[in-house]
Structure 1
Amino acid sequence: MKRSERIVAITNYFLEHPFELISLPYFSETYVAAKSSISEDLDIIDHMFQQEGIGKLQTVAGAAGGVQYLPFYSKENSDVFINQLCEKLNDPERILPGGYLYMSDLLGDPETIRNIGKIFATAFADKGIEYIVTVATKGIPLAYATANILNVPVVIVRRDPKVTEGSTVSINYVSGSSKKIQTMVLAKRSLPEGSTVCIIDDFMKAGGTINGMKSLLKEFQAHVAGIGVLAEAEDEDEERMIDEYVSLIKIHEVNLSERKIDAKKGNYFQ
């Protein structure tokens, strides 16, 4: 195999197996190349990963060591992407009756979802995340995109129990915006006790839903190491129920009468 072909193959392997520790002999045996040649290949790949702002290779010494791909999305790449996303959100045609904002097209676009997942994964890469938790339904694509980069499973909290999920744990919580009592459930088998988790959601107003998820996760003795929301609404008259979180976009204003939206970068960029 030519070096150029081998580099493409190894690069693809890293992209499909983030955070997985791989021994050098594996590459050497798989591609029938000397360890010194593989080491040179890895130096080239690492250089390009960092130059493109998409991650780096980390070498772990010792008998049980190897090399692993640590994906991240540089602040420069993130800044450009979120600015473009804000421009799309500022389109007045997105205003729906009641002051809601239409975002379903963005949450259904594979490239948009993939880039959002890269940013969240970068924000929580050093938190030791074992599971990504989200609530059905619009947060699911974001959760899977983030989990794909971090190489961890997704756990979905639901509003109603499903027969196919077996026994469940349920709690009642107060919605932050409507102040209504609502219910959320999680299958007992879906999350081992004591897991380190990250909550991902598409939109947050007062934070009642996320606060409810935190209460539900306490029943599993889970440690919430991070909370990420794609967009948060800014409302000075409403008290935020969540203090520590990462937001990518902040909706400062949705003006129905003037048909105006003011979406800017969230606290991740501050």
Structure 2
Amino acid sequence: MGKLKRNERIAAIVKILSDNPNRIFTLSYFSDLFQSAKSTISEDIVVTKQAMEKANLAKIETMTGAAGGVKLIPITTAHQNKEILGEICSRLKDKDRILPGGFLYMIDVLYSPHIIHSVGEVFASQFDYKDVDYIVTVETKGIPIALMVAKAMNLPLIILRRENKVTEGSTVSINYVSGSSGKIQRMSLSRRAIKPGSKVIIIDDFMKAGGTAKGMIDMMKEFDAEVVGTGVLIATKEPEKKIVNDYIPLLILEEVKEEDEQINIYPNENLLNLI
């Protein structure tokens, strides 16, 4: 790579940090990449930090010392949460999404890269994850959300399976009661997946009574892992009391009126009034 001007270096730094959130890059890395002195790179990072934080696009954290460097921490403001969650609500309120039985079609939203990338950053702004080891979800619809959360936090993703896979070796399986259907279901996880004593954050797409989330929490106990947070994209308003107590929903689904073709869904107000 030839010599770059300052504005070119800063643009490249923003691109690299944004594509790799919560990953530390040393000054030596950028110095070698741009063939520039570390002092010059340090000045570039100061400018990048000021611009990103002034525009509320992200937080840039610098570390001093031999192992020091710089990393980008995704953040979302209350205003940004309102825009992101408002867009999702607007899409989900379409009456054509109502399925027989009062269910809501949302696959296209869950699999939209633009939407789910933003959802991952919203979740990353809600949890203290500096000591967390894994993001955990259960297949299948929660995987895209959990993957984007894992990317934003720079953490490995663990997926609980509905059925054992021979490629995963020895597994631990448990039964749980689905809060949506009331049926007994099963989930399994490879014994090699999680180290004992780890800390995890659970992410899922939907919560009605909390049975699936409780199942994931119980599974983590089998691995002596601590659940430090639970997040769901959508939680139903009823039942108000869930099986799990501490969780963060991004959206609240109050009701789906099949006969009137109305969907009442709105953002979690707690995420729109941040200081």
* TM-score under structure 2 length normalisation: 0.92
Say whether 1:153 aligns with 2:143: no
Residue of structure 1 aligned with 2:60, choices 57, 60, 71 = 57
What amino acid is aligned across from residue 255 of structure 1 in structure 2? K
Could you list the per-position Cα deviations for residues 102-145 of structure 1 after superposition, in whole angstroms to 9, with x for gaps in the alignment?
Answer: 10110111101111111111212445222111100000000111
Name 1:229's counterpart in structure 2. Answer: 232
Name 1:37's counterpart in structure 2. Answer: 40
> Structure 1 residue 27: deviation in Å?
1.9
Say whether 1:164 aligns with 2:167: yes
Q: Unaligned stretches of 5+ in structure 2?
A: none
Distance of 1:128 and 1:75 partners within structure 2: 25
Name 1:173's counterpart in structure 2. Answer: 176
> Structure 1 residue 229: deviation in Å?
0.4
Could you list the per-position Cα deviations for residues 149-179 of structure 1 after superposition, in whole angstroms to 9, with x for gaps in the alignment?
Answer: 1111111101111111111001111222332
Residue of structure 2 aligned with 1:257, choices 259, 264, 268 = 259
Percent identity of equivalent pairs: 45
Residue of structure 2 aligned with 1:133, choices 109, 115, 136 = 136
The answer to whether the 8 Å contact 2:204/2:232 transfers is yes
The answer to whether the 8 Å contact 2:78/2:271 transfers is no
Distance of 2:229 and 2:27 partners within structure 1: 33
Name 1:106's counterpart in structure 2. Answer: 109
Distance of 1:162 and 1:126 partners within structure 2: 30
Name 1:215's counterpart in structure 2. Answer: 218
Name 1:240's counterpart in structure 2. Answer: 242
Name 2:203's counterpart in structure 1. Answer: 200
Distance of 2:113 and 2:78 partners within structure 1: 21
Distance of 2:169 and 2:129 partners within structure 1: 33
Could you list the per-position Cα deviations for residues 31-56 of structure 1 after superposition, in whole angstroms to 9, with x for gaps in the alignment?
Answer: 12223321221122112221332212
Q: Unaligned stretches of 5+ in structure 1?
A: none
Could you list the per-position Cα deviations for residues 16-75 of structure 1 after superposition, in whole angstroms to 9, with x for gaps in the alignment?
Answer: 332223332332233122233212211221122213322121122233322222221222
Distance of 1:239 and 1:159 partners within structure 2: 26
Inter-CA distance 12–120: structure 2 relative to 1 (3 Å threshold)? same
Distance of 2:232 and 2:271 partners within structure 1: 10
The answer to whether the 8 Å contact 1:234/1:250 transfers is yes
> Structure 1 residue 2: deviation in Å?
1.3
* TM-score under structure 1 length normalisation: 0.94
RMSD: 1.6
Distance of 1:190 and 1:121 partners within structure 2: 22
Range with bigger deviation, 221-230 or 117-126:
117-126
Distance of 1:67 and 1:107 partners within structure 2: 32
SS of 2:227's equivalent in the other structure is: strand
Count of equivalent residues: 269
Inter-CA distance 57–165: structure 2 relative to 1 (3 Å threshold)? same
Inter-CA distance 241–234: structure 2 relative to 1 (3 Å threshold)? same
